[in-house]
Amino acid sequence: MSKYETHECEFEEIIFVRLNEGEDLLKAIWNIAKENDIRAGVILEGTGALSNVVFQGIPKKKYACALPLDVYELGGILQTNVRGLIGITAKGDADWTDSSIKKVPHVIENEEDFWNYHGSEGGVDTPCFQGHFAVVNKDVSVMGRVLPGTKIENAGMGKTDNLPTHFSLVIGKVKGVEYRMKLNKDQFVQEIVKL
């Protein structure tokens, strides 16, 4: 018997998506999850170019930030690879409202920022994405967790209105389980629940 919590499940369908130039990557993933009723899914592959990335990363100095992870932003054209889990935000043991949220200037200034920082579109019963990307350009190579503000770029294809981007996602929608993200008073919890 395994010491790990495991649940057998299978793919219900595989969804291929091409994203549009200027589109916000995280918001696009949330929209795809809503349109396809994905309550448990995995990005099998996500690849293309970004014109701006906003992400969480390990602080350069311990306790340099009021949050456990710093928020970084890089501009310019960057190539990327994206992976992660798609699910649903579930009710935790705390009622998070604008008045109960610890504010962090330029990062968490309201309730929407709070949920977005944790990968949720907007709280209970909205899509969540716990995913990371690696991005590279001629000067830098970094990895971090995707945040709103990460924009799709039409790099290398010329700036013309009649050419699509080459940014594509391949998403596996899973049946038989639900991936839930919950924010409790003292911790962030991810659950896989057998249906």
Q: Is 83 helix (H, G, I), strand (E, B) or coil?
A: strand
Select the more confidently predicted residue: 61 or 32. 32
Mean pLDDT of 106-110: 76
Which pLDDT does position 64 carry in this prediction? 47
Select the more confidently predicted residue: 66 or 40. 40
For residue 109 the two structure tokens come to 């200034």
Q: Are 146 and 131 in contact (CB under 8 A)?
A: yes
- Mean pLDDT over all residues of the chain? 84
Which pLDDT does position 163 carry in this prediction? 59
Select the more confidently predicted residue: 195 or 116. 195
Which pLDDT does position 189 carry in this prediction? 84
Q: Are 150 and 53 in contact (CB under 8 A)?
A: yes
Which pLDDT does position 24 carry in this prediction? 93
Q: Of 132, 149, 143, which is closest to residue 23 (Cα–Cα)?
A: 149
For residue 66 the two structure tokens come to 């009021």
Residue 140 to residue 55: CA distance in whole angstroms: 14
pLDDT at 55 over 50: yes
Q: Are 115 and 127 in contact (CB under 8 A)?
A: no
Q: Which CATH number fits domain 10-154+166-194: 3.40.50.620, 3.40.50.300, 3.30.1330.80, 1.10.1280.10?
A: 3.30.1330.80
Residue 56 to residue 71: CA distance in whole angstroms: 5
Residue 71 to residue 168: CA distance in whole angstroms: 25
Name the percent of the chain lying above pLDDT 70: 83
Alpha-carbon Rg of the chain, whole angstroms? Answer: 17
The tens digit of pLDDT for each residue in 142-195 reads: 888 888 889 988 765 555 555 556 789 999 999 999 999 987 776 778 899 999
Residue 3's contacts (CB-CB under 8 Å, 6 or more residues apart) are none
Q: Which residue has the tokens 């839930």?
A: 180
The neighbour count for residue 75, using CB atoms within 10 Å, is: 11
